[in-house]
Structure 1
Amino acid sequence: MENLSSRIDVNVCTEPRPIDQGHVYVRAQQGRWQRIRQLTGWVLMLFFMVGPWLRWNGQQALLLDLEQQRFHLFGITIWPQDLTLLALFLMVAAFGLFLVTVFLGRVWCGYLCPQTVWTFWFIWVEEKLEGSANKRRQLSKAPWSLNKLARKGGKHLIWVLISLLSSFTFIAYFVPAAELGSILLQFSAGLLPTFWVAFFALCTYLNAGWMRAIMCIHMCPYSRFQSAMFDKDTYSVGYDATRGERRGPRSRKADVATLKLGDCIDCNLCVQVCPTGIDIRDGLQYECINCGACADACDQTMRQMGYTTGLIRYASEHQLAGGKTRLWRPKLIGYGIMLLLMLATLVYAAASRVPMALDVQRDRNQLFRETTEGWVENTYILKLSNRTQQPQHYWVRVEGIDALHWVGAETVTVRAGEIIYLPVSLAADPYLLSESKYSIQFVAGNDELQVHAGSQFFSSGR
């Protein structure tokens, strides 16, 4: 980054908005908010990249197996019957986002959103190969040469490699990572995996490399409905106009009182470091992603000038107007209560979830039949599901009629995540049965749990 002090000593230190034909040349900026954003981004990126390779009980710890309709999450297998858990989790995430937005504005967009993380990653590559924002702007305007071709070509090559790596990692959450890597390296992948890897690689390359702020400004729905959650007590990046105006350039030794100027020296650094190319001094704007880059740039300028920092800072509208922020307010409390309710419901549903299931299907062709010994026999198919990630040994039995005789296997081994269909028959001496229909209960389980499934036993009666 250029030496700021050399620019502040002159009377005119403004530069044009860093936008050239729709492209935003983001100037590099350091500061506490950027350190937090970078640390958060690297942690999330590391977790994203490592996630598909984590193992749990010999299996991929995080696998959203759409083909088998099962989600494997650190030893827990979520089946289609458990989609209530997924719905509750999404509701918890939604209310958590609403709560944070009411309190801290678009902090998700500035620090956690994948679009922001990947965009700043791509900008970092761009800076390393093409230089600062001014050098990148000049390079784009310069005629083509070997130097320009090498820098531009190298940048796009690295972008493509990052996009392919990101796409492979994303698909590895849906297809086992080792299997996906093997078939791609051997060029034996089918049309579907190849298409999705190429598709998401293209999306990453276009979104983070070319579209960038266009996604945030024109395509992201969150920026549109965030105003419904904002209020005058929401913390967001704002410009203290009372302190900053009237803005204007000046020397560090100038008497501000004599010039009748505010603290803003109109250096435009807040505009140059903004990834969406807006001027935070124009007030609250839906394009702002609350990344804090303008606050860091302004604080750096204030320190160079010997002024108090915080001209641009995280503050509520009430604070910027000279008032106080109300922390506890109905909207914030309401979202907090809903978040706690959804979280409690999710915990209860997860704790009460049974890791096995039993369903019973009767023979649809006939109610009963008589054996050669003259007994009445009913046939059933027991559907046993092992929802754990370890093989399980289950016993099965029937309750309801003491006279029933079990015909079939009484113990069974079900592999991890497997569903088996066990045919069994129940037979009884008709002379011991006084009614034509009985309610019975099939029971399956082991030493840790039992599950029941109701059915009926039919006979000729007496």
Structure 2
Amino acid sequence: MNDKQKQINVKDVTPARSHRPTDDGHIYVRAQAGKWQKLRKYLGWILMSIFIIGPWLTWDGRQALLLDIEQQRFQVFATTIWPQDLTLLALFLMISAVALFFVTTFLGRVWCGYVCPQTVWTFIFIWFEEKIEGSANKRRKLDKSPWGFNKIWRKTAKHIAWLGVSLITGFTFIAYFIPASELAIDVLTFSTSFWVGFWVWFFAFCTYGNAGFMRTIMCTHICPYARFQSAMFDKDTFTVSYDVERGESRGPRGRKADPKELGLGDCIDCNLCVQVCPAGIDIRDGLQYECINCGACVDACDQTMDRMGYERGLISYTTEHKLKHGTTHVARPKLIGYGVIITVLCAVFIYMAMSIMPMGLEILRDRNQLYRETNEGLIENTYTMKINNKTLDTEVYRLSVEGLDDTTWIGPQEVEVRGGEIISLPISLAVDPYLLSSPVSDVTFVLTHTGLDEDDSKATLRHKSKFFSAIN
């Protein structure tokens, strides 16, 4: 077999990409109105408001949302989460991941297009860009013009606005880890520590770079979600799609012209769908991993269809099955499976969250000796009780033991523990050997929260241990 017979014929079937409104890699996003853009803006401002207001919320005189890494505790309104409760954090992350899989399988990359922080901040930066430098065409013209007063003041004002948003973002993010009121005073008086100031500026710089310059580069080249999302897509996933059968062949025409007589489809090739795309792609080339499902091209195309008197939906949120005149199956096994997993994880999370005790108890036996005999002839065992006050208030606890009759408790039976403090309390139990029937007896130490009602399930905490003696 010669070399020519060994060669495999390869045909390039990659669709030709349409013209993109880019200059030297820069995308000039055209402003677009419409129901999907209105929804995106509302969601963006709501999430931005929650983010900024979050550190300033108070609960019982304290910051309601505080991830205090130095003190190793997370404050979430009335609940204080300590390291031993971090299983909740793992569960929360698992729920978030599966929920993302569920939404992606059902609605494609709507997370990216509507609520991803990268997208929200990018559109905020673009909004400032439009207000200061003008529309997409004006921005393109301004960038190509020589430096002068007009260009200098507009560019300066834009970057000052970007830096302002970035600093607010960096400050707010750090305020979730350091009390916001203290951080604000330190920042305003220029008295922050080196590392606090460093992290504020670090996250401000990241925001400035990501939303101001990198933008969709983060989505297409750095964020892994764009790469593995296709594994969750199927023919029933709702994505932004172009109806090729209805739209082709493309071509300009008058409003009163009959496209069928001209041998044309409904697409007038106005290119608006490309101009409004923040990723700079042409959705008419088919589904592309750069697409973030923001719906800007849907709104642009619908408005064009309205002007032409055509039916909306040439570009729409639809499924592959529907485009091929099939039936979209919403309740499919994969989606149901994700739903079941989310339901189970949420149930476990709620149960564990409601089961968090306001105090912790650990019993350590004396390892030097199992037991000793007192001068009174009693058998004595020594223990160390570690009592953890998981609240942020000083609490009083009552101590007792169950499982042995006529037990003598040696040590304090009521202790006061400050908020967030762990104390080690040595105590001993002494029992008459005639009351013991076994060399090893089960005992249960009881810690009672005096500030809670006795009927409250969280008022009492029990911890099992052993009592040793010389009985054979």
Give the TM-score, by structure 1 length: 0.92
- Note if 1:300 corresponds to 2:303: yes
How many residue pairs get aligned? The number is 448
Q: 2:385 touches 2:424 (CA, 8 Å); kept in 1?
A: yes
* Residue in structure 2 matched with residue 379 of structure 1 by the alignment: 382
> Structure 2: which amino acid aligns with 1:455?
S
Question: C-alpha deviations, 1:375-403, integer Å up to 9, x for none?
Answer: 55433221112334544332101223224
Name the CA distance, whole Å, in 2 between partners of 1:352 and 1:261: 66
- 2:67 is paired with a residue of what secondary structure? strand
- 1:406-441 Cα deviation digits (max 9, x unpaired): 122211233333322223233345676676544322
Pairs within 5 Å for 1:327-338: 327-338=330-341
1:450 alignment partner in structure 2: 460
Paired position in structure 2 for 1:43:
46
Match of 1:34 among 31, 34, 37: 37
Residues 1:439 and 2:442 aligned together? yes
Map of 1:53 onto structure 2: 56
> Distance in 2 between the 1:322 and 1:401 partners?
77
Q: Which region of structure 1 is more displaced relative to structure 2, 195-204 or 272-281?
A: 195-204
CA shift for structure 1 position 166: 0.5
More displaced 10-residue stretch of structure 1: 356-365 or 198-207: 356-365
- Is 2:320 the counterpart of 1:320? no
CA distance in structure 1 between the partners assigned to 2:167 and 2:33 by the alignment: 29
The equivalent residue for 1:423 is 426
Note if 1:194 corresponds to 2:200: no
Structure-1 residue corresponding to 2:80: 77
- Give the corresponding residue for 1:130: 133
2:413 to 401, 410, 414: 410
Q: Given the alignment, which residue of 230, 248, 260 partners 1:227?
A: 230
Q: What residue is the counterpart of 1:174 in the other structure?
A: 177
- Check 1:190–1:255 CA distance in 2 against 1; reply closer, same or farther (3 A cut): same
Question: Partners in 1 of 2:328 and 2:437 — Cα distance?
Answer: 78
**After the TM superposition, which of the residue ranges 168-177 and 108-117 deviates more from structure 2?**
168-177
Trace 1:16-415 onto structure 2 (pairs within 5 A): 17-369=20-372, 376-415=379-418
Q: Deviations over 1:52-77 (max 9, x none)?
A: 11111221111112222211112111
Letter in 2 for 1:456: K
Counterpart residue identity of residue 393, structure 1: V
Distance 1:330 1:370 in 2: 67
CA drift of 1:182 comes to 2.1
From the superposition, tell whether residues 362 and 183 of structure 1 become closer, same or farther in structure 2 (CA, over 3 Å): farther
Q: Which amino acid aligns with 2:160?
A: L
Q: What amino acid maps onto 1:210 in structure 2? A: F
**What is the rounded CA distance, in whole Å, between the counterparts of 1:43 and 1:79 in structure 2?**
30
Range with greater deviation from structure 2 (219-228 or 256-265): 256-265
Measure how far apart 1:198 and its partner are.
1.4
Q: Distance in 2 between matches of 1:433 and 1:288?
A: 75
| Cα deviation 1:294-336 (Å, max 9, x = unaligned) | 0001111111112111111111111122222112211111111
Q: What is the identity, as a one-letter code, of the residue corresponding to 1:340?
A: T
Q: For the Cα contact (< 8 Å) 1:75–1:389, is it kept in 2?
A: no
Q: Which runs of 5+ in 2 are unaligned?
A: 1-17
AA of the residue aligned to 1:54 = L
Cα distance in 2 between the residues matched to 1:401 and 1:454:
12
CA distance in 2, matches of 1:182, 1:423: 43
| Structure of higher RCO (CA pairs closer than 8 Å, 6+ residues apart) | 1
2:11 aligns to what? Answer: none
Identity %: 62
Q: Is the 8 A contact 2:405 2:435 kept in 1?
A: no
Letter in 2 for 1:450: T
Q: Pick closer, same or farther for the CA change 1:225–1:425 going to 2, 3 Å.
A: same
| Inter-partner Cα distance in structure 2 for 1:266 and 1:330 | 39
Secondary structure at 2:86's aligned position in 1?
helix
Query: What one-letter code is carried by the residue in structure 1 that aligns with 2:119?
Result: T
Gaps of 5+ in 1: 1-14
Q: CA deviation at 1:112?
A: 0.7
